[in-house]
Structure 1
Amino acid sequence: MRRYSFLLIVAGFILNNSFAQLSDNKVIDSLVNELWVNTKGYKSSRIIKKIEKQNPQFDYLTCVIKNQIKFPGNVKKGFVEWEYEIDSIKHYCIVIIPNNYDPAKKYAVTVFLHGAIMNLNPRYVSTFITPTSYNPDSLDRIIIYPASWMQSLWWNNRQVENLKYIIERLKKNYNIDENNIHLSGYSDGATGSFYQANMNGTPWATIRSYIGNPNGVADLSNQNIFLKNFNSVPWLIVNTTNDKLFPASEITPFIQRMRMAGNTAYYYIMEGYGHDLNWVPLLKDSIRNFLSQNIRNPYSSEIYWRTENTLKYGRNRWVIIDKLKKNTNTSAYNDITEILVPYNRESINLSGFIHVTTTGNIINVTTENVEQYTLLISPEQFNFNKPITVYTNENLSFEGEIEKNMHTLLKWVSRDLDRTMLFGYELKIRL
């Protein structure tokens, strides 16, 4: 009888613990979903603290982030228009959602940067992208048309922030495939795509430039253009022989510079075509194959990045340049294959680069003009059960074991809204 009573007590204890664990898991799931839509300021900090108070296992939390984000089903579909402010200036954007959108399914995204931006109409894109431009009944992806005009040009930092905002807003409301976000541009938009890649390569799976003028990016933006930054993303570039604005004969030398800097861009010269897209049917299959074969790898084993603005544009995926040295080394500026400087620049802005390669848990880093950098370490890329070794400029910078950190995981989830790029440790290296 005593033994029977003891077994009942044990069974009751196990059941109570199971129900308590189930209840705790529901709380964690709910808080993670709350964090997904509240990523700014004090709200996100409060939610992160609440999750940490629940003390979930790191691996369970990762599983929730990957699989338990619930997207609303009552979202707008078809032709959708957004209006919002960036830097206190009203911006406009067209979003085209498949009519059969299913919140349980991930969708690829294509962002198109339009041309003819030297106008005063912030809604100019709506004059040629209308509700009849696409058939939402047959779409298999989400299409984005941001707007650019004289107050917000594609080669302006305001537009870098604009595209960040659009992608973040999309992630909060729609179930998108974070590794399948593609950037494309036409004419001025194609020119702008080079500027975007120069400042932020993290979100893009591919970039396509159609009849653009990369030669003008440095001068138009009055910014240094770092050709090796383009190597972070696969490119497909098209120019035409009879284009009176940007003929292929003038663009080809730029593509050659990209290749000298290590880029493997697909480059098509379309004979007999002008400043138009009439050649698209001829490359339709090539473009489709290019998109399907190039899905973003968030944990690339090799990353290069150069920046002159560490505060806003020091990051490429899991590598961050935190701080530059005060004494600049300008030797690289003499190498025309790597850096393009605006013709009217009176002085050279300080910049620095980082080049990271990995083999197992060994990380080799080469830097120039960098005082401090951060490596965001993911359990999906590195083995946390073994020591991590970091060499910087052939000197040992770090060697030791690291532990999965829940705060790091939640911090970067709230910043990135990326279920495929999850980090467990921040490794800061000061040189």
Structure 2
Amino acid sequence: MKYYITVLLVLLGFFSKAQENYAALTGKAFGVMEEAKDETGYRKALDLYEEAFRLYPKNIDGEGLHDASLLALKLKNKDKAFQYLTSLSLIKGDGVNFPGWSYIIGKNPEKEYKDLLSDPRWNTLKQKSAGDKKQFYNELQTKENEFYSTNKSSLNNIGSPEALYKEIRNFNPYRPKKDRDYSVSFKISDSVTTSFFIHLPQNYNPEKKYSLLFFLHGAVRNNELIDYQMAEWNLGGWNRYYTKYADQNDVILVFPRASKQYNWMLSDDGFSMIPEMLKQIKKTINIDDNNVFISGHSNGGTGSFSYLMKQSTPFAGFYGFNTYPKVFTGGTFVENIKNRSFINFSTDKDYYYPPNANDDFTKLMKGISADYKEYRYNGFPHWFPQFGESEPAYQIIFKDLRDRKRNPFPKKISWEFDDDRYGNVDWISNIKLDTLSKNINERKELNFKINKWLVYDENDSLMVKDVDKNAFDFPRKSGKIKAEYDRNVFHIETSDIKSFSINISPEAVDLKEKVKVYVNGKLYFDKKIKYDQDFLLKNFYNTQDREQVWVNYIEVKI
């Protein structure tokens, strides 16, 4: 847990001087503890921890007490070890602290405190911790149940599809919420659970539709999934300006938790997390479907960019701090950005992605007339959000968020992909690649070379390193579809696609007239389309989207 806490502290940042001083002193103590090989070293480390506790009693945290108890045990002072363990067990979990019971229950504590297991005081402590854990999760479950509570409302018994359509468009089963902050567990699979933390506006009104912003954290390789979260892990520190401007603008904030295996960048195992979390939230919170956004820092910025490239339909816009603009699980088809937008905040001293590459990426975006903006902040390293000078970037985000809305029925669509799981964009869905096609992919790959990269040397000084790498990789054959419509006439051009569906909305076409579909220059469909009640209901349950409501579809096979 020590390493995870350290990563969490890095992500959060520090504010008060006392907190900084306490962290510096306990950090020094931890360093001495790690290097200690005998009683003298252990004593020196414990003295430093105890000095920190004495000087900054209000800042005493679980990790400090945990380390102090282990050091006391190494010094064979069981009484002092239990003294610190007892204090540790009283921590309820706030700020950057985990609940005290999490240090005492489980396999790791049994190993760390093996010399205490025979002491009756350990069993007493363990029993208390078990009770605390049970109470903690009971309270968490009670809050989660309240979060998901809605008014009873059934769409299944509505008689006509036209009436069902109107009901879905105006669907509102929402209730007021008792709290502003909720930690909600989330099942990635039957055996894997994580969580998201959601922060509501001050006076949440279930009759009003709200904008929503996901924040994707960085350092996914060094994080672990956890089935609960605390407010200060997310709302303070580096995220303080998200909280400040979300509160000012009545924007809902959502903070998911990822790991090395289940995340939004390195693996597709967890990529479905964000759209699925959004669907769950829409069931209980009144979200404006045309005002859902994603932002992130570092790996989280790359994750935001990846959703733009691979699964943009539910979202209106995308933002990233210190972003690496690349899809790491397949091809990076940058023209997909033309369906939405991206704003990147970069720095000139960033080891994660170099400024020269950002310059070339911006040129590429300008060349394809993408809705892309980059704001460069000079003199700052990768951890730019830590600094107060980052605040103007958040003002840019929330101004853009206020002004931007998703168009649920865009007249033109262009989409390229190399994985059937991501063959959906707005009113074109279920696109399938023609894997048997022997055509050579003649589409021009948009790419560029990166020849300079910033790295830290052994003295922690930033230096320029020569590299020879492509900005993007294209490991698999892709397919592409271009589609547009005007009134009731659709024109579709495909390349290496074997099938797809055109979703139909009465907001986009006149159902009293025939719909014509031309595929690769040939008339494919010329008929009137009726409401399909089963499809309408199934699609709404699948998306929870009250703006992009499809009443039927046209299946096209090439």
Q: Same fold (TM over 0.5)?
A: yes
Deviation at 1:266, TM superposition (A): 1.5
Q: How do residues 85-234 of structure 1 correspond to structure 2 at under 5 angstroms?
A: 85-87=187-189, 88-123=191-226, 128-130=233-235, 134=243, 140-155=250-265, 156-214=267-325, 217-218=326-327, 221-234=328-341
Change (3 A) 1:359 1:93: same
Q: How far apart, in 1, do the equivalents of 2:151 and 2:235 lie?
A: 39
Deviation at 1:411, TM superposition (A): 2.0
Deviation at 1:139, TM superposition (A): 6.1
Q: Structure 2: which amino acid aligns with 1:358?
A: Y
Change (3 A) 1:334 1:225: same
Instruction: Tell me if the contact between 1:206 and 1:234 (Cα under 8 Å) persists in the aligned partners.
Output: yes
- Listed one character per residue, the Cα deviations across residues 220-252 of structure 1 (whole Å, up to 9, x for unaligned) are x34112112222211111211122332322222
Q: Which moved more, 1:225-234 or 1:257-266?
A: 257-266
Match of 2:433 in 1: 324
Change (3 A) 1:185 1:378: same
Q: How do residues 273-312 of structure 1 correspond to structure 2 at under 5 angstroms?
A: 273-275=380-382, 276-277=384-385, 278=387, 279-310=389-420, 312=421
TM-score by length of 2: 0.62
Deviation at 1:191, TM superposition (A): 1.2
Change (3 A) 1:268 1:101: same
Deviation at 1:292, TM superposition (A): 1.9
Change (3 A) 1:213 1:322: closer
Q: Which moved more, 1:259-268 or 1:354-363?
A: 259-268
Deviation at 1:298, TM superposition (A): 0.8
Q: How do residues 320-359 of structure 1 correspond to structure 2 at under 5 angstroms?
A: 320-325=429-434, 326-332=436-442, 334-337=444-447, 348-359=475-486
Q: How far apart, in 2, do the equivalents of 1:410 and 1:389 lie?
A: 25
Q: Which moved more, 1:197-206 or 1:397-406?
A: 397-406
Q: How do residues 390-409 of structure 1 correspond to structure 2 at under 5 angstroms?
A: 390-409=517-536
Deviation at 1:131, TM superposition (A): 7.3
TM-score by length of 1: 0.79
SS in 2 for 1:409: helix
Q: How far apart, in 1, do the equivalents of 2:350 and 2:336 lie?
A: 27
Change (3 A) 1:153 1:404: closer
- 1:242 maps to 2:362: no
Q: Structure 1: which amino acid aligns with 2:268?
A: N
Change (3 A) 1:138 1:235: closer
- Listed one character per residue, the Cα deviations across residues 288-312 of structure 1 (whole Å, up to 9, x for unaligned) are 33212210011111111122222x2
Match of 1:263 in 2: 370
Change (3 A) 1:116 1:139: same
Q: How far apart, in 2, do the equivalents of 1:247 and 1:308 lie?
A: 27
Match of 2:175 in 1: 72
SS in 1 for 2:414: strand
Instruction: Tell me if the contact between 1:258 and 1:337 (Cα under 8 Å) persists in the aligned partners.
Output: no
Q: How far apart, in 1, do the equivalents of 2:348 and 2:426 lie?
A: 36
Instruction: Tell me if the contact between 1:117 and 1:150 (Cα under 8 Å) persists in the aligned partners.
Output: yes
Change (3 A) 1:225 1:285: same
Instruction: Tell me if the contact between 2:500 and 2:557 (Cα under 8 Å) persists in the aligned partners.
Output: yes
Q: How far apart, in 1, do the equivalents of 2:185 and 2:438 lie?
A: 42
Deviation at 1:140, TM superposition (A): 0.7
SS in 1 for 2:309: helix
Match of 2:503 in 1: 376
**Structure 1 residue runs without a partner (length 5+):** 1-29, 36-46
Q: Structure 1: which amino acid aligns with 2:542?
A: R
Higher RCO structure, 1 or 2 (CA under 8 Å, sep 6+): 1
User: Match for 2:515 among 378, 382, 388?
Assistant: 388
Deviation at 1:200, TM superposition (A): 0.4
User: Match for 1:63 among 166, 174, 177?
Assistant: 166
Change (3 A) 1:224 1:32: farther
SS in 1 for 2:168: helix
Instruction: Tell me if the contact between 1:324 and 1:351 (Cα under 8 Å) persists in the aligned partners.
Output: yes
SS in 2 for 1:207: strand
Q: How far apart, in 2, do the equivalents of 1:34 and 1:387 lie?
A: 32
Q: Which moved more, 1:111-120 or 1:257-266?
A: 257-266
Q: How far apart, in 2, do the equivalents of 1:168 and 1:337 lie?
A: 34
- 1:34 maps to 2:161: no
Q: How far apart, in 1, do the equivalents of 2:474 and 2:482 lie?
A: 25
Q: How far apart, in 1, do the equivalents of 2:525 and 2:287 lie?
A: 37
Q: Structure 1: which amino acid aligns with 2:445?
A: D
- Listed one character per residue, the Cα deviations across residues 121-168 of structure 1 (whole Å, up to 9, x for unaligned) are 324986742579547975612100111221223212233211122101
Q: How far apart, in 1, do the equivalents of 2:557 and 2:402 lie?
A: 40
Q: How far apart, in 2, do the equivalents of 1:363 and 1:137 lie?
A: 43
Change (3 A) 1:290 1:417: same
SS in 1 for 2:278: helix
SS in 2 for 1:179: strand
Q: Which moved more, 1:108-117 or 1:263-272?
A: 263-272
SS in 2 for 1:240: strand
- Listed one character per residue, the Cα deviations across residues 44-96 of structure 1 (whole Å, up to 9, x for unaligned) are xxx4xxx3xx532x3322221122422123x3532211222213322121111
Structure label with greater radius of gyration = 2
Q: How far apart, in 2, do the equivalents of 1:297 and 1:65 lie?
A: 18
Deviation at 1:31, TM superposition (A): 12
Instruction: Tell me if the contact between 1:118 and 1:149 (Cα under 8 Å) persists in the aligned partners.
Output: yes
**Structure 2 residue runs without a partner (length 5+):** 1-149, 449-468
Q: How far apart, in 2, do the equivalents of 1:269 and 1:328 lie?
A: 44
- Listed one character per residue, the Cα deviations across residues 246-301 of structure 1 (whole Å, up to 9, x for unaligned) are 23222222233333344220122223332213443334543333212210011111
Q: How far apart, in 2, do the equivalents of 1:409 and 1:159 lie?
A: 28
Match of 2:491 in 1: 364
